Structure 1
Amino acid sequence: MNTRSLGFVERLRIAVLLMGVGIGAIQVPSLAQKPTAYASFKPGAVWLADDGLPIDCHGGNIIYIDSLKTFYWYGEHRGEPRGAACYSSKDLYNWKNEGVVLKKGAIDVFERPKVIYDATRHRYVMWFHYDGNRYTVAELGVAISDKPTGPFVVQHHSRPNGHESRDIGLFMDPETQKAYIGYAADHVNRTIRMVELSGDYLSTTAQDTDIEAHCEGPGILKQNGVYYLLTSGCSGWTPNPATYYTASSLMGPYTSQGNPFIGDVGNNSFNSQPCYIFKIPGYKNAYLYMGDRWNGGGHADSQYVFLPITITPAGKMELHWYAEWNLNLFTPEKTAR
């Protein structure tokens, strides 16, 4: 046997076996790195979880469960097994890997999972893009779990009111507790549609409107009675300049307001694509932009771009680049005037 062509770990295994020692008696080098304690966000940098491996949680969202004092981050697990990953955190910087909470199994394409908590029924509801390997199925799928860390069980999948659905965003109105899905729809994402979910969050209603914007990757926030819809253009895995829209009603009509990324030299949303806007609890008007760096495809170790979103006194949305930042940028609610 020519062992020179083998990797280090394989040669080490062979050497141990030849010595008659069980492989379990030795320590084999791990691909994991020493876990790092974080006290800030570093957009685009390698981000490790408690297991020392890069966080593998793409195209998803974050929720906060007040009774547990815990944040949960859900997203696409691009490594094996494929499906939905869940990570938990007490501070938004340091994350514990809770594992794959929904395995995609026979689903050809599982993308952009978004989770909301149904406080009335004490369960977690996950919506996601359900598709075939040629992206011709174009449906919404829904799954539920009694625990934030799963497992989630798929309930059904379909096209909302007969419309194709691919990239999705999710928004729960904090005042009404009504939930909505913004979805890239029809003829290869020709437009964004907004659909209201049922009271139990398990199905879509007939409240479904065309926003008439050729875009994808929607993220939504509400401030001072105005709804802000942040989207990317349609260029596959390649980042592009974002556009945001405003409306006085979540169902529209929406008005294009241009690109909110300030000083974006590459004109590519700081080399990212939006997937969600998270309202950070405990701070006044604190909105977290969640963006993915797909790097030409959905890789397990692709990076994340988390940045603060500013709504100016004039009502403009702005995102500025920070190589490193923390929550001290925001004003705590208890000291807000």
Structure 2
Amino acid sequence: MKKPFLFAVLLALAGPAAAQKLTAFHPGAVWPDNHGTHLNAHGAGVLFDKGRYYLFGEHKIAGLTGNRAQVGVHCYSSRDLYNWRDEGIALAVAPAGSGSEIEQGCVLERPKVVFNKKTGQYVMWFHLELKGRGYAAARTAVAVSGKATGPYRYVRSYRPGAGQWPLGFQEAWKQPLPGEKDLKWWTPDWYRAVAEGLFVRRDFAQGQMARDMTIFVDDDGKAYHVSASEDNLTLHLAELTTDYQDFTGRWNTIAPAGHNEAPALCKRGGKYYLLTSGCTGWAPNAARSFVASSIWGPWQALGNPAVGPDADSTFHSQSTAILPVAGRPDAFLFMADRWVPKNPIDGRYIWLPLTFEDGRPRLRWADTWTLGVFDQPRPAATQ
């Protein structure tokens, strides 16, 4: 009787070390962490820092529908992108009734963390909706930490661009045209009015809306905030200050009235590539892609980057980030979520290799794949 008992004790003590090591990605499958628990980091972003990847995402609660934050932002770390160690809650929401902008019950989405070399601080941005106000606040918020894993200290939230016009905004557009508010939506005249500042003027004093968002750091160290604005009709791109915690006031619009959200941005061969989704709530749709020679535009639409079966739903997922793979030049990993609104904690992760063909981004489904695909010959970055 002693040997079976001893084996059981040793097995129990083994704990996380007994978890099976992963050697590949399995998009859409349960993705266990070092404890064997499905990763709880939705709408995520990844930071590579000092030889390790850090995954930050929305922590969901079992049995709770909707998108109200009850815990905060969960962090995991990895050296190979397949196997993730639970690092705990990087940013905790404040207790209910505290009056904090990020108190329990707020909406806290799509956290993205970048490292600022000048300050030595890790800076987290996320989309914030104030408790009890639905999606009316449309704010973006920032928190900072001296460690990648946190804890992060909440700083403040913003409506970007208050009192500031976008680049190239003509003087004639600063005054509303007679009857423009009565224009029928989705008509040529309405599209023209949106492009000429219909909603920019509306939000000029209080600041522009900021919902689904991402952060991009360019080769020169400048950082940019990209978000769905104007009631999710138009994307806004805004330059951050040198500490990455505020806005310089320099910003521009992308695809006015294009109805894009879920932005994800990368740079390849001196060009900027932007992937988005349409706006269909929790239901997936066909992704969109854009390219520009300057981050300020103009941006050219390239169509749906996904090809093959289920391309019209982006493989039943929605983009959240594009990750440059460390040590592998010109290798990018597309990160997306397969949302489960009735049980958000069961949301699955769709990570796929992002390739380029004739200067266009391409996504193809794979049940299983490894980083080895980036070692195969690929079209040159200049194509």
Q: For this structure pair, what is the TM-score category when the shorter chain's length is used for normalisation?
A: 0.7 to 0.9
- Contact between 1:284 and 1:332, CA under 8 Å: does it hold in 2? no
Match of 1:115 among 104, 109, 113: 113
Please state how far the C-alpha of 1:210 moved relative to its aligned partner.
0.8
Match of 2:246? 203
Please state how far the C-alpha of 1:331 moved relative to its aligned partner.
2.6
Aligned ranges for residues 92-171 of structure 1 at < 5 Å?
A: 92-105=81-94, 106=103, 108-132=106-130, 133=132, 134-161=134-161, 162-171=207-216
Aligned: 1:79 with 2:67: no
Match of 1:62 among 38, 46, 51: 46
Q: How many residues align?
A: 300
Please state how far the C-alpha of 1:218 moved relative to its aligned partner.
0.3
Report the 3-state secondary structure (helix = DSSP H, G, I; strand = E; otherwise coil) of the residue aligned with 1:231.
Answer: strand
Match of 1:45 among 29, 41, 49: 29
Please state how far the C-alpha of 1:239 moved relative to its aligned partner.
0.6
Please state how far the C-alpha of 1:301 moved relative to its aligned partner.
2.3
Letter aligned with residue 142 of structure 2: V
Please state how far the C-alpha of 1:230 moved relative to its aligned partner.
0.1
Match of 1:35 among 5, 10, 19: 19
Report the 3-state secondary structure (helix = DSSP H, G, I; strand = E; otherwise coil) of the residue aligned with 2:372.
Answer: helix
- Contact between 2:228 and 2:262, CA under 8 Å: does it hold in 1? yes
Letter aligned with residue 89 of structure 2: V
Structure having the higher helix fraction is 2
Where do 5+ consecutive residues of structure 2 fail to align? Answer: 1-15, 63-69, 95-102, 162-206
Match of 1:248 among 293, 310, 321: 293
Letter aligned with residue 190 of structure 1: L
Match of 1:257? 302
Structure having the higher strand fraction is 1
CA distance in 1, matches of 2:320, 2:34: 23
Letter aligned with residue 160 of structure 2: P
Please state how far the C-alpha of 1:297 moved relative to its aligned partner.
5.5
* Structure 1 stretches of at least 4 aligned residues deviating more than 3 Å after TM superposition: none
Deviations 1:148-169 (A, max 9, x none): 1110011111101100111001
Match of 1:90 among 73, 79, 88: 79
**Percent of pairs with identical residues:** 39
Match of 2:100? none
Aligned: 1:327 with 2:361: no
Please state how far the C-alpha of 1:194 moved relative to its aligned partner.
0.4
Deviations 1:79-137 (A, max 9, x none): 28521010000110000010111112215111111000112222100000111241111
CA distance in 2, matches of 1:119, 1:298: 39
- Contact between 2:340 and 2:346, CA under 8 Å: does it hold in 1? no
Match of 1:183 among 214, 227, 230: 227
The 1:169/1:120 distance shift into structure 2, 3 A limit, reads same
CA distance in 1, matches of 2:24, 2:42: 20
Letter aligned with residue 159 of structure 2: R
Report the 3-state secondary structure (helix = DSSP H, G, I; strand = E; otherwise coil) of the residue aligned with 2:312.
Answer: coil
CA distance in 2, matches of 1:289, 1:221: 10
The 1:145/1:192 distance shift into structure 2, 3 A limit, reads same
- Contact between 1:242 and 1:268, CA under 8 Å: does it hold in 2? yes
The 1:145/1:297 distance shift into structure 2, 3 A limit, reads farther
Match of 1:192? 235
Match of 1:224? 269
Q: Give the aligned CA root-mean-square deviation in angstroms.
A: 2.1
Deviations 1:231-290 (A, max 9, x none): 000011111000001111112111111001010436100011000000001112110000
Letter aligned with residue 263 of structure 1: G
- Contact between 1:232 and 1:241, CA under 8 Å: does it hold in 2? yes
Report the 3-state secondary structure (helix = DSSP H, G, I; strand = E; otherwise coil) of the residue aligned with 2:30.
Answer: coil
Letter aligned with residue 280 of structure 2: S
CA distance in 1, matches of 2:345, 2:17: 16
Letter aligned with residue 323 of structure 2: F
Report the 3-state secondary structure (helix = DSSP H, G, I; strand = E; otherwise coil) of the residue aligned with 1:84.
Answer: strand
